[in-house]
């Protein structure tokens, strides 16, 4: 177990800079998720922590000690790869114990460690098989076994679930969370799946184009996204954006757009002046109300019942927004719909810089 400090880490290939000074501190036993679309630099960052890639600047400390001069094997890390990277010519048992074998751990001790890890991951019956004879989910477990058997200071996961089918992915996600809670080892986890980030992380770094867009706990990132990219990347269906104007009002400020009028309480005096803004509303924050209490008036476009809830696409002036409503919602296409939202749950963004405006 150890803390991880990433300090002003940079990476460039030739003249192309792919990471622009990243700073992250991870507490001992924490679970850091690096989240972002492909090409955002998250895998590069993970490889640099592992020592599989050189840094172009900055420092990386594991347990308070700089590891930049250490080879991957000396960093006391264990890594789980997206492709699992199991050695095809070795049995499952030897695959799991290979790291220990290379470190000169005796055969007896190795066997015990492999069996313990296999039991924890429920793959004891597979130890004699070859990777080629395993299913995707089983390979995934072997890859995790290979990591935990080493009892490292830090686990690195590189999109470990993206090669699994949807059902297995949910199962393994729970498994990883259970494993983390049981072992208590710090984890860095790379993914482009925002649900994995939300469910697993104690800390999430949302990345784009080599910059960290926001670093925080999943709740904060979901409820108070730092900019419109983070707001739209996290959450499904994505956050609704409404372009409108902010107008000073006796109770605070008033957001106005075609079909929309919401009073927002504010303590930030600077917000008070009139200006164009983007209003962000999560689909689940919208609810239907009586006409006289509505702050958003629109027309129903599409109604999609999913079982536990019903997604309703609503045309509001120029904009289309999605509302996540109760399953028994009875509206029909072309009917008017009256919606309200808790003013405390909305987010305001500057339309030019796309940065969050605190209200």
Interface ranges with other proteins (CB under 8 A)? 47, 50-52, 71-73, 77-79, 81-85, 87-90, 98-99, 102-103, 130-133, 146
- Which residue lies nearer to other proteins by CB, 92 or 197? 92
Q: Buried (b) or exposed (e) across 32-48, using 16+ Cβ within 10 A?
A: bbbbbeeebbbbbbbbb
- Which residue lies nearer to other proteins by CB, 110 or 282? 110
Q: Buried (b) or exposed (e) across 125-147, using 16+ Cβ within 10 A?
A: ebbebbbeebeebbbbbbbbbbb
- Which residue lies nearer to other proteins by CB, 103 or 119? 103
Displacement of CA 90 from its chain's centroid (Å): 34
What is the residue whose two structure tokens read 């072309």?
A: 334
Spatial separation of the C-alpha atoms in residues 331 and 352, rounded to whole Å = 36
- Which residue lies nearer to other proteins by CB, 113 or 303? 113
Q: Provide the minimum distance between the beta carbon of 61 and other proteins in the complex, in angstroms, as a whole number.
A: 18
Spatial separation of the C-alpha atoms in residues 125 and 148, rounded to whole Å = 18
Tell which residue, 149, 152, 211, 191, has the closest CA to residue 8: 211
Q: Provide the minimum distance between the beta carbon of 272 and other proteins in the complex, in angstroms, as a whole number.
A: 55
- Which residue lies nearer to other proteins by CB, 101 or 299? 101
Q: Provide the minimum distance between the beta carbon of 144 and other proteins in the complex, in angstroms, as a whole number.
A: 13
Q: Provide the minimum distance between the beta carbon of 132 and other proteins in the complex, in angstroms, as a whole number.
A: 3
Q: Provide the minimum distance between the beta carbon of 154 and other proteins in the complex, in angstroms, as a whole number.
A: 11
Q: Provide the minimum distance between the beta carbon of 115 and other proteins in the complex, in angstroms, as a whole number.
A: 19
Spatial separation of the C-alpha atoms in residues 12 and 25, rounded to whole Å = 22
Local structure of 176: helix, strand or coil: helix
- Which residue lies nearer to other proteins by CB, 105 or 311? 105
């Amino acid at each position: 177990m150890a803390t991880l400090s990433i300090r002003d880490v940079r990476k460039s290939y030739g003249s192309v800079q792919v990471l622009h000074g990243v700073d992250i501190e991870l507490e001992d036993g924490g679970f850091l998720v690096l989240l972002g679309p492909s090409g955002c630099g998250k895998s590069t960052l993970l490889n640099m922590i592992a020592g599989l890639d050189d840094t172009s600047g900055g420092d990386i400390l594991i347990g308070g000690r700089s590891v930049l001069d250490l080879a991957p094997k000396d960093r006391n890390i264990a890594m789980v790869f997206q492709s699992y990277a199991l050695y095809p010519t070795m049995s499952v048992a030897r695959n799991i114990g290979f790291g220990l074998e290379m470190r000169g751990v005796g055969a007896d001790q190795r066997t015990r460690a492999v069996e313990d890890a296999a039991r924890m991951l429920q793959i004891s019956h597979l130890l004699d098989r070859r990777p080629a004879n395993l299913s995707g989910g089983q390979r995934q477990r072997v890859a995790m076994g290979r990591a935990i058997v080493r009892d490292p200071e830090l686990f690195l996961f590189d999109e470990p679930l993206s090669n699994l089918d949807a059902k297995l992915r949910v199962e393994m996600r729970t498994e990883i969370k259970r494993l983390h809670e049981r072992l208590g080892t710090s984890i860095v986890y790379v993914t482009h799946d925002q649900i994995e980030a939300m469910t697993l992380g104690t800390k999430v770094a949302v990345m784009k184009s080599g910059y960290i867009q926001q670093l925080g706990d999943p709740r904060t990132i979901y409820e108070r996204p730092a900019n419109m990219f983070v707001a739209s990347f996290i959450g499904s269906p994505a956050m609704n954006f409404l372009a409108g104007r902010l107008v000073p009002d006796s109770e605070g400020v008033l957001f106005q757009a075609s079909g929309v009028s919401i009073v927002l309480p504010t303590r930030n005096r600077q917000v008070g002046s009139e200006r164009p803004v983007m209003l962000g509303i999560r689909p689940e924050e919208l609810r239907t109300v009586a006409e006289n209490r509505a702050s958003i008036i629109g027309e129903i476009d599409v109604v999609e019942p999913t079982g536990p809830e019903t997604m309703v696409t609503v045309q509001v002036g120029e904009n289309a927004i999605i509302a996540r409503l109760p399953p028994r919602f009875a509206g029909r296409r072309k009917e008017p719909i009256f919606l309200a939202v808790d003013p405390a749950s909305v987010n305001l963004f500057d339309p030019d810089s796309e940065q969050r405006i605190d209200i």
